[in-house]
């Protein structure tokens, strides 16, 4: 016979709410992107927000791991160490090419040579700290407080909100081992909920203004009905 369990253990322990990842609203992202000072920085941010790669993963990319024709970039996955190809936006590859042309004579060449380099001489492979500071400076100029990691959340939300993209595809892009981890991005973003609710209220107001007030029944004053239905001028 099993010993009785202590049902009181944890019974009154409050359950901690699951934190919703903070993404970067589109308007805020545009403000930050407009203040990035170099093609390298624009390429980095464009890859972050379109691949969903972690900051360290994208910095692990090497020159031979870029395939513009197939719109793929290879990264080393955090934790597993596996190499994975990730699709990225066409804009990201355009900015990347501009960055490569800009520093063509300043950085080493080779298939296994790192893709991302510092802009000042002597050129060195770009570190996570340097990438973080780059994004922090752009935030300061834009008056925003987004983090580099928030770009991954932004990419995840954008993918998850696409009805034509299965959640398992989003899981693949993000490198999640469990689908339940990816499902958190199905939670509506606060700013999107507010935007839709405000649009709803605006539409309700528009419809109310377009409604024709009912004709006054015999014995009722039309002026009184105007006051009652809010159509008095």
Distance CA 62, CA 114 (A): 4
DSSP 67: E
Asked whether residue 9 carries a pLDDT value surpassing 70, the answer given is: no
User: Domain segments of the chain: what residues?
Assistant: 26-186, 190-229
Over residues 101-121, the mean pLDDT reads: 93
Confidence of residue 207 (pLDDT cuts 50, 70, 90): confident
Asked whether residue 16 carries a pLDDT value surpassing 50, the answer given is: no
DSSP 17: P
Residue-wise pLDDT tens digits, 126-139: 999 999 999 999 99
CATH of 26-186, picked from 1.10.3210.10, 1.10.443.10, 3.60.40.10, 3.40.50.300, is 1.10.443.10
Query: Would you say the C-alpha torsion 138, 23, 58, 91 has a positive or negative sign?
Result: negative
Closest CA to 60 of 109, 126, 107, 121: 126
Residue-wise pLDDT tens digits, 25-75: 999 999 999 999 999 999 999 999 999 999 999 999 999 999 999 999 999
pLDDT score for 7: 43
Q: pTM value?
A: 0.77
Asked whether residue 194 carries a pLDDT value surpassing 60, the answer given is: yes
Over residues 146-171, the mean pLDDT reads: 96
């Amino acid at each position: 016979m099993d010993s009785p369990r202590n049902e009181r253990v944890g019974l009154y322990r409050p359950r901690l709410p699951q934190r919703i990842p903070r993404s970067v609203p589109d308007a805020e992202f545009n403000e930050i992107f407009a203040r990035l000072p170099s093609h390298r920085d624009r390429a980095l941010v464009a890859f972050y927000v379109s691949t969903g790669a972690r900051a360290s993963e994208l910095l692990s990319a090497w020159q031979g791991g870029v395939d513009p024709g197939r719109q793929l970039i290879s990264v080393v996955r955090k934790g597993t160490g596996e190499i994975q190809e990730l699709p990225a936006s066409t804009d990201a590859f355009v900015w990347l090419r501009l960055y490569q042309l800009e520093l063509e004579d300043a950085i080493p060449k080779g298939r296994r040579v790192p893709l991302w380099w510092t802009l000042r001489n002597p050129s060195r492979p770009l570190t996570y700290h340097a990438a973080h500071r780059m994004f922090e400076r752009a935030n300061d100029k834009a008056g925003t407080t987004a983090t580099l990691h928030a770009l991954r959340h932004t990419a995840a939300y954008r993918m998850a909100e696409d009805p034509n993209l299965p959640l398992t595809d989003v899981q693949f892009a993000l490198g999640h081992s469990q689908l339940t981890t990816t499902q958190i991005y199905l939670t509506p973003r606060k700013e999107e909920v507010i935007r839709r609710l405000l649009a709803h209220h605006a539409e309700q107001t528009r419809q109310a203004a377009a409604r024709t007030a009912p004709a006054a029944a015999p014995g009722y004053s039309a002026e009184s009905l105007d006051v009652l239905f809010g159509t008095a001028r």
